[in-house]
Amino acid sequence: MTSVAKTIPAPTDVGALANRINFHTRDAHNKVNAYMSVRLAFALKHGFIYRQGILAFYHIFDAVEQELDRLLNDPQNDEERQMQHVLRQFWLEEFRRTNRIFKDLEVLYSPEYSDSESLRNFVEHQPLAPQLQSFVDSIHSTVQQDSCTILAYCHVLYLALFAGGKVMRSNLYRHTGLFPKFEYLTPKELVIRGTNFFTFSDEGSDAENKLRWKYKEGYELATRQELSESQKTRILQVSSQIFDWNMDVIGEIGEMNRNELMSKFSFKLLTYLSEEWKYSTILSKRSKDSIIVMAILIQFLVAYIVLRKFI
């Protein structure tokens, strides 16, 4: 444990790149945490929205891992060869998310796509929403222009999953209605099959914790001395942008579903609008005041439709 303490930076160690990223993005981190908590609470009541979010993150991590593989296997210049050396000091295949997310999509989209080939065709050929496409394009262009920025994605995206994966699995265990029903799977088995995105080891929490510390240790050793100050500054800039992109992508999913549901009057629309108003803490007071009457009417309409159904 002593050797680990020497290589895992203390929170007050301002020389550690990870700490600098955390400090530089603290406000953005708090903002996106509050925003994502609201959106998660909402998505956990609407499985069709939740799986759209998982699909979006498939494309985000796929873009990052394409660039990771390119730098690890085919660097084109001195800076990319430098990043190859840095990445090889901490990157392990257990960190890769794309294949694991696809396993979740196989469960979440099984009613529409019964085999991996048809799902793969859907995932790879469907047009991406504008904000998501912009984020994916930005990942490729940013890393190809400044290869050191790959380290921003490695810290912000992957470490967030290490920290939040257990919480997500716990939340999803309490909301198994998000998943398609399988007669041959218990709720626990269903959660295991549908939460690969948030799982870094199938051997349990202790193994995941060891992997997390190994990641942080390797990242610290690889980045403390081998980067210039200008490279670290660029990584800090991109780290902040990642938080903004994540919020934009999640917000876009909500807006697209709202617009689609608003085009047709239905019970699904009423419950969607009612719950969105209930869970949204992002709206300004003026916005809330302007829709409070509509929300009350929605509640009455929902009750009326339910009563009509059983009378």
The amino acid that residue 186 corresponds to is T
Q: Is the dihedral of CA 7, 12, 17, 18 positive or negative?
A: positive
What lies within 8 Å, CB to CB, of 145 at 6+ separation is: none
Q: Distance between CA atoms of 239 and 241, rounded to whole angstroms? A: 5
The amino acid that residue 7 corresponds to is T
Q: How many CA atoms lie within 13 A of 263 on its CB side?
A: 5
Query: Binding site: which residues?
Result: 29
Query: Binding site for heme b: which residues?
Result: 29
Closest CA to 90 of 18, 12, 197: 18
Q: Distance between CA atoms of 131 and 38, rounded to whole angstroms? A: 20
Distance of CA 62 to the CA centre of its chain: 12
Q: Distance between CA atoms of 199 and 263, rounded to whole angstroms? A: 38
Helices 26-43, 229-262: axis angle to 10 degrees equals 30
